[in-house]
């Protein structure tokens, strides 16, 4: 019987081509856009290599000084601050200090290329799980001895050495030469904690340990033993901030910095309050509202189409009632039709999203971007569409099926 319902559902959908097209277009495009946007979101903030421990990690990426006139000075933290204060924290299991990317120039043959340079300590290669194509990360001994070693990205390696191995060879940046000890897979610049073309030991930073201010160009990643212990790190970090010596006390009255989750490190500045609110809840509420309204547009369209389609088939329902069809069988038929329509829409949405993502990846609109389909979001979106589709199709069908055959034929 179910096979007959499926055959009938397909024939009905093909018979009403206009309604079917409008329904499929609205649902499929909406799901496809939702999948692409979700993939962008995950690429920017989700857990992926080399940042694989975000559920138990916190980042220190911002420092703010408030002056006595009510003004604010914001920047990253200085290496001095991280080394002098943060390194003494006892609750993190691991920690790493690194700079934000800075642009430097290199010559490859007669070509000048701009590179994103990042200084980092040796723990950087342990805390963050980069995929090494060649070699290794530099060691604590190499950092301590300020050896001129470097880890480079795949794209820089291909520009400088082509298909040849880069490990053990030298690269020249301005007037300085560095021996390549490792090559890592490229990381998109939207992951600014880990992206870079050239990774150098922090001890090679010309400002290393010279700047005694607490503002600077560095960040830290603190890793807890397990996700539940992140609160302990945040509590200890907040207590530590109370002990920080304020630079130029005649000018500044307070210093503010937080050990935030990865997402909160983005939202605190733009959506939150520096002292009490990270802005994460505001972001989720905003995204949730936009997503709800976005999904509701094709859903309302689907509801109207299903109601109209059901009303147009009143005579069919009346004829089937006259021939002895039960209300249950009539409702089941409409349920199967909506189910088939939703499945078709889901398959089409995957195809559209996959094509769009492949086009975006190939265009390198965002360098090193690799979008992938989130099937969990796809399933949730399809269930949402299916729920309202069934509600809009089955309810009027059930109302029609309750009518007497003669009444249904008059409609």
Give the model's confidence band at 105: pLDDT under 50 very low, under 70 low, under 90 confident, else very high. confident
pLDDT (0 to 100) of residue 377: 73
Q: Percent of the chain beyond pLDDT 70?
A: 77
Cβ contact 73:64 at 8 Å: yes
Give the model's confidence band at 26: pLDDT under 50 very low, under 70 low, under 90 confident, else very high. confident
Give the chain's end-to-end CA distance (angstroms, integer).
28
A 10 A CB-CB count for 174 gives 9
**230/13: higher pLDDT:** 230
191-233: pLDDT as tens digits: 889 999 999 999 999 876 667 789 999 999 999 999 999 999 9
Give the model's confidence band at 341: pLDDT under 50 very low, under 70 low, under 90 confident, else very high. confident
108-119: pLDDT as tens digits: 777 788 899 999
140-182: pLDDT as tens digits: 999 999 999 999 999 999 988 888 999 999 988 888 899 999 9
Q: Percent of the chain beyond pLDDT 90?
A: 34
pLDDT (0 to 100) of residue 74: 83
Q: Distance (Å, rounded) from C-alpha 236 to C-alpha 240?
A: 6
**66/121: higher pLDDT:** 121
Taking Cα atoms as reference points, which of 286, 399, 271, 282 lies closest to residue 334? 399
299-316: pLDDT as tens digits: 676 666 666 666 666 666
A 10 A CB-CB count for 283 gives 18
Cβ contact 279:268 at 8 Å: yes
pLDDT at position 391 over 80: no
For residue 51, the cross-strand partners are: 48
**170/390: higher pLDDT:** 170
Cβ contact 205:99 at 8 Å: yes
**324/75: higher pLDDT:** 75
pLDDT (0 to 100) of residue 153: 95
C-alpha triplet 128, 130, 132: angle, nearest 5°? 150
pLDDT (0 to 100) of residue 181: 97
Instruction: Compute the Cα dihedral for 263, 268, 273, 276 and give only its sign.
Output: positive
248-287: pLDDT as tens digits: 887 888 889 999 998 888 888 777 666 677 888 888 888 8
DSSP class of residue 123?
Answer: T
* pTM of the predicted model over 0.85: no
Q: How do 176-184 and 149-153 pair as beta strands?
A: parallel
Residues near 71 by beta carbon (within 8 Å), at least 6 away in sequence: none
Range in 320-324, 348-352, 363-367 with the lowest mean pLDDT: 320-324
Domain boundaries, the chain: 2-46+282-410, 62-259
């Amino acid at each position: 019987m179910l096979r007959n319902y499926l055959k009938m559902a397909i024939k009905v959908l093909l018979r009403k081509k206009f309604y079917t097209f409008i329904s499929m277009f609205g649902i499929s495009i909406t799901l496809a856009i939702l999948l692409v946007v979700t993939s962008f979101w995950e690429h920017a903030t989700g857990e992926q290599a080399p940042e694989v421990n975000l559920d138990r990690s916190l980042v220190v990426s911002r420092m703010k000084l408030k002056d006595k006139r009510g003004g604010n000075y914001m920047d990253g933290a200085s290496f001095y601050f991280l080394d002098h204060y943060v390194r003494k924290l006892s609750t993190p299991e691991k920690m790493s200090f690194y700079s934000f990317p800075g642009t430097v120039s290199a010559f490859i043959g007669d070509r000048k290329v701009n590179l994103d340079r990042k200084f980092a300590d040796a723990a950087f290669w342990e805390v963050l799980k980069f995929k090494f194509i060649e070699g290794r990360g530099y060691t604590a001994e190499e950092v301590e001895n300020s050896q001129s070693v470097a880890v480079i990205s795949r794209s820089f390696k291909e520009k400088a050495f082509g298909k040849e191995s880069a490990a053990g060879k030298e690269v020249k940046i301005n007037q300085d030469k560095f021996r390549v000890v490792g090559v890592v897979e490229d990381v998109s610049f939207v992951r600014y904690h880990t992206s870079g073309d050239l990774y150098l030991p922090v001890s090679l930073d010309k400002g290393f340990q010279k700047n005694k201010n607490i503002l600077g160009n560095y960040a830290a990643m603190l890793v807890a033993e397990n996700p539940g212990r992140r609160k302990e790190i945040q509590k200890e970090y907040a207590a530590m901030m109370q002990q920080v010596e304020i630079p130029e006390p005649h000018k500044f009255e307070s210093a503010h910095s937080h050990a935030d989750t990865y997402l909160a490190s983005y939202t605190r500045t733009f959506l939150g309050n520096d002292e009490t609110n990270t802005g994460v809840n505001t972001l989720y509420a905003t995204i949730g509202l936009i997503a709800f309204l976005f999904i509701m547009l094709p859903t309302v369209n689907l509801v109207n189409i299903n109601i109209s389609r059901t009303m147009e088939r009143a005579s069919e329902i009346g004829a089937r009632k006259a021939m002895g069809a039960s209300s249950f069988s009539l409702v089941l038929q409409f349920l199967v039709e909506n189910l088939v329509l939703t499945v078709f829409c889901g398959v089409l949405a995957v195809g559209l999203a996959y094509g769009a993502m492949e086009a975006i990846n190939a265009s390198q609109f965002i360098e090193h971007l690799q979008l992938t389909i989130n099937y969990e979001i796809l399933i949730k979106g399809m269930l949402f569409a299916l729920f309202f589709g069934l509600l809009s199709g089955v309810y009027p069908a059930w109302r029609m099926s309750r009518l007497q055959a003669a009444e249904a034929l008059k409609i």
